[in-house]
Amino acid sequence: MIRTVLGFFIAALTICIVIILAPFSSDDEPATIDVTRNETGNVTAPVAAPIGSTGTLAPGVAEAIAPAPGVAGQAAARILAASRAGQEPELKIQTDTSSIGDTTAGVLAALGLATGAAPVPTPAEQGGDEMMNMTASVLSGIRGATGQPAAAPQQNDLQTLVAWALKEGQSDSYIDALLNEAASAGQITVPNMLVTSDGRVDTATLLASIVQEATAATTGQRAAVPTTPLGPSDGVEVRVVQRAGETEQFRFYTVGSGDSLGSISVKFYGSVEYYPRIFEANRTILSSPDRIQTGQRLVIPELG
Amino acid sequence: MLRLFSSIAIGLCVCFGAAQAQDVKITDNMPEAVIDLNGTTVTISRIQDTENLLTGDFAKTSRPCPPFCIHPMTIEDGVKTVGELEVIDFLSTKVADGSGLLIDSRVPDFFVRGAIPGAINVPFTTLEASNPYRTDIIKALGAVEIGGGLDFTNALDLMLYCNGPWCDQSPRAIRGLLEAGYPAEKLFYYRGGVQDWVMLGLTTVTPSNDG
């Protein structure tokens, strides 16, 4: 069953990467692209040559996740290098509370594709986004004035890396290795719902979300909630509770290895944006969205 | 007699001409300030038309207080208050050699309508505690994370201004910085702000890109 779902993802991924990358073959690229290119331009040369041949994104998903930490780590380090001077690297993945919608929109913007507003942002999130954008322009202003190397603010480093890797046509496994290296070295912060039960970055869900947004932006269609029924083999358990004549159905999900709150949200609701629902319903056992652990039994609320 | 008249006339003309040609200088020995900032040349001079009057927002005398109340000369202990010449000096020394920044602490709307040359826009809202990313800005200003705290030894000197002596955006920015641990002796307050700056006919720029 998981294979079917994965198969769908791979197919969607292939189509959408073609859609994303197609516009960039033309010469009249929008101005936004230049910005990222400048930021990453100096690293393209040393890194792109040996790895450029790894292949397209889609086949990469099928490949076993075999990180190439040396090269990936170097790339991440170089991309984020100068502005990070003086920061102590930490071994634990640093997380932030940013919504994956922002990350996705940021990556797509860097790739020259506008998505419009992220779906269903709460007022608090909107305030946060505005501050993040304002901070980003402040930082670019300060760096422009002080002659520091232009770099995206820390929250956007993840976006910078992903956008760069996608533009380079790196494989999924390469991007996964890159992000995990950078995250464990403390060079990027990751939205907390993208931390898996193994403490890694859920690159697959992030990339799938980018693809989903890109599809929505180019075709105007949102991906539908998956209709494939999930059964016990997927770690899903359905309990029917009868109470005062009403029948209520509860779904439970046992966290598997490699699951993140984001990927579970995709599994049940078709989009990462619903992860707060799952988190809220499981506050008693989850102290934070990134504290998800293999074997935990989560309540999956019905979207009402 | 005719000769006398004509010489007087010529003398008058010369005087008048000289008066017309005389610059509205910044100071007696500084007609204008030409500053090289990170590869860009910034020129600060004054409007030469001695009949020029302010129009628009900065010609206003009265704004409702609150919120537009008159600020004291000293905004916080240890934060020096400065005037126009110190702003120009700060630009040509500290900002030029990379040890300081002139900060326009107004919201971007104001900044893009006209700012002091060489200033960068850091809206006061981004320096208040409500901005979860404030530390990123503080670090970009030269603070270094040490242990659980921040070390400001090599942090930049900052000179902040906003719309005028009645504007609380730079005082709030200064308080935000102090609260984040920025040392008061590295902060300077140009109280006159844009209103005093344009009242003296000094150059403003309308930044086109960053903001």
With helix as H, strand as E and coil as C, how does chain B read? CHHHHHHHHHHHHHHHHHHHHCCCCCECCECCEEEEECCEEEEECECCCCCCCCCHHHHCCCCCCCCCCCCCCCCCCCCEEECHHHHHHHHHHHHCCCCEEEEECCCHHHHHHCECCCCEECCHHHHCCCCCCHHHHHHHCCCEEECCEEECCCCCEEEEECCCCCCCHHHHHHHHHHHCCCCHHHEEEECCHHHHHHHCCECCECCCCCC
Compute the radius of gyration of chain B from its Cα atoms.
Answer: 21
Residue A72 — pLDDT band, cuts 50, 70, 90?
Answer: low
Half-sphere exposure of B196 (CA within 13 A, CB side): 15
Residue A107 — pLDDT band, cuts 50, 70, 90?
Answer: confident
Q: Which of A191, A219, A247 is the last residue of a domain?
A: A219
Q: A94 and A156 in one domain?
A: yes
pLDDT at A195: 85
Residue B2: pLDDT over 80: no
Closest CA to A106 of A16, A195, A27, A166: A166
Q: A172 and A26 in one domain?
A: yes
DSSP-H helix ranges across chain A: 2-21, 31-51, 57-62, 69-80, 100-110, 123-146, 154-167, 172-184, 203-219, 261-269, 275-281
Q: Prior bond to B66 cis, omega within 30?
A: yes
Residue that the structure tokens 């190397």 belong to: A149
Residue A57 — pLDDT band, cuts 50, 70, 90?
Answer: very low
Q: Higher confidence at residue A111 or residue B185?
A: B185
Judge residue A164's burial from the number of C-beta atoms within 10 Å of its C-beta, 0-12 exposed, 13-18 middle, 19 or more buried. buried
Please state the pTM of the whole predicted model: 0.47
Q: A91 and A35 in one domain?
A: yes
Q: How far apart are CA B91 and CA A222, in angstroms?
A: 52
Sheet architecture: strand order including B100-104 = B80-82, B187-190, B157-161, B100-104, B120-121
Structural contact between residues B188 and B160, judged by C-beta atoms closer than 8 angstroms:
yes
pLDDT tens digits, A245-274: 777 777 888 888 888 888 888 888 887 778
pLDDT at A272: 79
Residue A290: pLDDT over 70: yes
End-to-end Cα distance, chain A: 26
Q: Which of A219, A245, A279 is the last residue of a domain?
A: A219
End-to-end Cα distance, chain B: 67
Q: A244 and A168 in one domain?
A: no
Residue A44: pLDDT over 80: no
Report yes or no: A11 at the B interface, CB cutoff 8 Å. Answer: no
Domains of chain B, CATH where assigned: 24-199 (3.40.250.10)
Of A87, A131, A148, the CB nearest to B132: A131
A224 occurs within a structural domain = no
Closest CA to B104 of B162, B158, B34, B36: B162
Q: Please, which residues have CB within 8 angstroms of residue A34's CB and are 6 or more apart in sequence?
A: none
Residue A125 identity (one-letter amino acid): E
Q: How far apart are CA A76 and CA A213, in angstroms?
A: 25
- Two structure tokens written together for B71: 């600020």
Q: Rounded to a whole number, what is the distance in Å from the CA of B120 to chain A's nearest CA? A: 6
Closest CA to B123 of B163, B95, B178: B163
A225 occurs within a structural domain = no
Compute the radius of gyration of chain A from its Cα atoms.
Answer: 20
Closest CA to B189 of B156, B165, B153: B165
pLDDT at B17: 47
A119 occurs within a structural domain = yes
Q: Which residues of chain A lie closer than 8 angstroms to B136, CB-CB?
A: 135, 139, 153-155
DSSP state of A151: -
DSSP-H helix ranges across A185-304: 203-219, 261-269, 275-281
Q: Mean pLDDT, to the nearest integer, of B188-202?
A: 97
CATH number for the domain spanning A266: value is: 3.10.350.10
Residue A66: pLDDT over 90: no
Q: How far apart are CA B47 and CA B50, in angstroms?
A: 8
A41 occurs within a structural domain = yes
Question: DSSP 3-state assignment of A270?
Answer: coil
Q: A199 and A276 in one domain?
A: no
Q: A251 and A215 in one domain?
A: no
Q: How far apart are CA A189 and CA A96, in angstroms?
A: 6
Q: Mean pLDDT, to the nearest integer, of A84-102?
A: 61
Domain that holds residue A258: 232-300
Q: How far apart are CA B7 and CA B9, in angstroms?
A: 5
Judge residue B17's burial from the number of C-beta atoms within 10 Å of its C-beta, 0-12 exposed, 13-18 middle, 19 or more buried. exposed
pLDDT at A223: 59
Q: Mean pLDDT, to the nearest integer, of B15-20?
A: 48
Q: How far apart are CA A214 and CA A151, in angstroms?
A: 24
C-alpha angle B38-B44-B46 in degrees, rounded to nearest 5: 175
Q: A76 and A49 in one domain?
A: yes
Q: A213 and A176 in one domain?
A: yes
A291 occurs within a structural domain = yes
Q: A173 and A96 in one domain?
A: yes
Q: What is the mean pLDDT of chain B?
A: 89
pLDDT tens digits, A193-220: 888 888 888 888 888 888 777 777 777 6
Q: Which of A192, A219, A246 is the last residue of a domain?
A: A219
Residue A196 identity (one-letter amino acid): T
Tell me if B37 and A145 make a contact (CB, 8 A cut-off): yes
Of A141-150, B112-121, B147-156, the least confident: A141-150
pLDDT at A263: 85
Most B CBs within 10 Å, among A146, A148, A155, A192, to test the B interface:
A146
Residue B25 falls in which region: left (phi positive, over 0), alpha (psi -120 to 50) or beta: beta
pLDDT at A35: 38
Tell me if A145 and B132 make a contact (CB, 8 A cut-off): no
Q: Which residues of chain B lie closer than 8 angstroms to A139, CB-CB?
A: 136-137, 140
% chain A with pLDDT above 90: 0
Q: Which residues of chain A lie closer than 8 angstroms to B150, CB-CB?
A: none
Q: How far apart are CA A181 and CA A296, in angstroms?
A: 26
% chain B with pLDDT above 90: 82
For residue B210, the chain A residue with the least C-alpha distance is: A141
Report yes or no: A82 at the B interface, CB cutoff 8 Å. Answer: no
- Two structure tokens written together for B156: 């930049």
A236 occurs within a structural domain = yes
A227 occurs within a structural domain = no
| Number of structural domains chain A divides into | 2
Neighbours of A146 (CB within 10 A): 18
Most B CBs within 10 Å, among A32, A84, A102, A135, to test the B interface:
A135
A286 occurs within a structural domain = yes
Residue A39 falls in which region: left (phi positive, over 0), alpha (psi -120 to 50) or beta: alpha
Tell me if B136 and A143 make a contact (CB, 8 A cut-off): no
Closest CA to B169 of B119, B208, B133: B119
Closest CA to B211 of A168, A164, A140, A291: A140
Q: A144 and A69 in one domain?
A: yes
Phi/psi of residue B130, nearest 5 degrees: -70, -15
Report yes or no: B12 at the A interface, CB cutoff 8 Å. Answer: no
Question: DSSP 3-state assignment of A108?
Answer: helix
Q: Which residues of chain B lie closer than 8 angstroms to A157, CB-CB?
A: none
Report yes or no: A187 at the B interface, CB cutoff 8 Å. Answer: no
Q: A249 and A197 in one domain?
A: no
Q: How many CB pairs under 8 A join A and B?
A: 72
Q: A244 and A188 in one domain?
A: no
